[in-house]
Amino acid sequence: MNAQPKTKAVVLLSGGMDSAVVLAQARADGCDAHALSVRYGQRHNAELVAAAQLAAALGAASYRIVEVDLRAIGGSALTADIDVPEAPSEGIPVTYVPARNTIMLSIALAQAEVLGASAIYVGVNAVDYSGYPDCRPAFIDAFERLANVATKAAIEGTPMRIVAPLIDLSKGDIVRLGLRLGVDFALTVSCYQADAQGLACGRCDACRLRAAGFADALVADPTRYATPA
């Protein structure tokens, strides 16, 4: 009696709350989930420390970090010497990293092909988000179409699915889903400028969106904040 082999999936894991919920969802969907973080020159390392802990806590089949030095390109408050804004702004904010999700999904596609995975899970969200173009359904659909002509596996008949289970959820919904799936949000770091201990600033977009999500879900947020100045 052979058990049905599990679907292999690559899960992009940042260390923030959304991708933690996505990893838990991939596991709940019955996947062998291979977690992948991309170190792209972001200002702090606390997110990646959190990602490694989350991969272990949520039962990832493997955890890998791939480096791509987007500081050579710059153009964002997360990868260049531009201040992270601490008040809401109009339009697409300076924390937008040019083509970031395209690059991260491309690297995940390479990993998926090497592993023989047939799905890539990604935590993009088009509801309570920062207006980034590469978090919209049209982007995910276009990447899936690309993935299905880009690889040897696709040519040989193994289709690739890009799974974005949070795309239509509010931040409050994401908190509720994560709690249902057993995510320990105390392990996650959302802040764009967390310190070396992972303490959050409480003022950037990412901190504000997270706090609003927990408030909406009527759940206490375990975020540890740096002492305000």
Q: How far is the CB of 11 from its own copies (least distance, A)?
A: 15
The nearer residue to its own copies, 24 or 160, going by C-beta atoms, is 160
> Which residues have a Cβ under 8 Å from the Cβ of 213 and sit 6 or more positions away?
17, 128, 170, 171, 172, 174, 175
The nearer residue to its own copies, 51 or 105, going by C-beta atoms, is 105
> Which residues have a Cβ under 8 Å from the Cβ of 6 and sit 6 or more positions away?
30, 31, 32
Q: How far is the CB of 40 from its own copies (least distance, A)?
A: 9
Whether the Cβ atoms of residue 94 and residue 76 lie closer than 8 Å to each other: yes
The nearer residue to its own copies, 59 or 133, going by C-beta atoms, is 133
The nearer residue to its own copies, 12 or 183, going by C-beta atoms, is 12
The nearer residue to its own copies, 154 or 181, going by C-beta atoms, is 154
The nearer residue to its own copies, 113 or 221, going by C-beta atoms, is 113
| Cα(187)–Cα(226) distance, integer angstroms | 16
| Cα(98)–Cα(229) distance, integer angstroms | 31
Q: How far is the CB of 69 from its own copies (least distance, A)?
A: 5
Whether the Cβ atoms of residue 63 and residue 35 lie closer than 8 Å to each other: yes
- Applying CB under 8 A, the residues found at the interface with its own copies are 64-70, 72-75, 92, 96-103, 105-107, 109-111, 113-114, 133-134, 136, 138-139, 142-143, 145-147, 149-152, 154-155
User: Cα 132 to the chain's mean position, in Å?
Assistant: 13
Q: How far is the CB of 139 from its own copies (least distance, A)?
A: 5
Q: How far is the CB of 216 from its own copies (least distance, A)?
A: 27
Please count the other Cβ atoms lying within 10 Å of the Cβ belonging to residue 27: 20
| Cα(108)–Cα(73) distance, integer angstroms | 20
> Which residues have a Cβ under 8 Å from the Cβ of 3 and sit 6 or more positions away?
none
Q: How far is the CB of 194 from its own copies (least distance, A)?
A: 24
